[in-house]
Amino acid sequence: MTGYEVIFCIVNDGFSEAVMDAAKQAGARGGTVMHARGTANQEAEKFFGITVQPEKEIVMILVPAEIKDDVLHAIYRDAGLKTAGQGIAFSMAADNVVGITPAPSPVGGKDEKR
């Protein structure tokens, strides 16, 4: 079985679609969006050099470990701290994943059974 990673991306409210568009372009198949509220203080704003918008969206994306880096880089490029989304992203290993169907194999190959 191929290993999986879960990518979490926290962005300003209204930018989850930009995160998902970037992730899909890098090979992700979908994700889950949760609404959240940030609690950063003035010291954090000064450290990062940004103004923190309290309303947030958290996007969770489960991906095969092989594409994790590509997805993270695409998300950061399109929705990272230097964009209006002011996103941060990180990943964690996901063990014992169930309910995932393999992506279709490219050009007529057979899907791997899990």
CATH number at residue 67: 3.30.70.120
pLDDT tens-digit readout, 31-74: 999 999 887 666 766 776 766 678 999 999 999 999 999 999 99
| 4 neighbors 55 (Cβ within 8 angstroms) | no
Asked if the structure places residue 104 within a domain, the reply is no
pTM beyond 0.85, yes or no: no
Asked if the structure places residue 113 within a domain, the reply is no
**Boundaries of domain holding 59:** 4-94
Asked if the structure places residue 39 within a domain, the reply is yes
Asked if the structure places residue 107 within a domain, the reply is no
pLDDT tens-digit readout, 3-34: 999 999 999 999 999 999 999 999 999 999 99
User: Three-state DSSP class for 38?
Assistant: coil
Provide the domain count of the chain. 1
**Please, how many CA atoms are within 13 Å of residue 21, restricted to the half-sphere of its CB?**
7
Q: Cα separation of 67 and 41, whole Å?
A: 34
Asked if the structure places residue 44 within a domain, the reply is yes
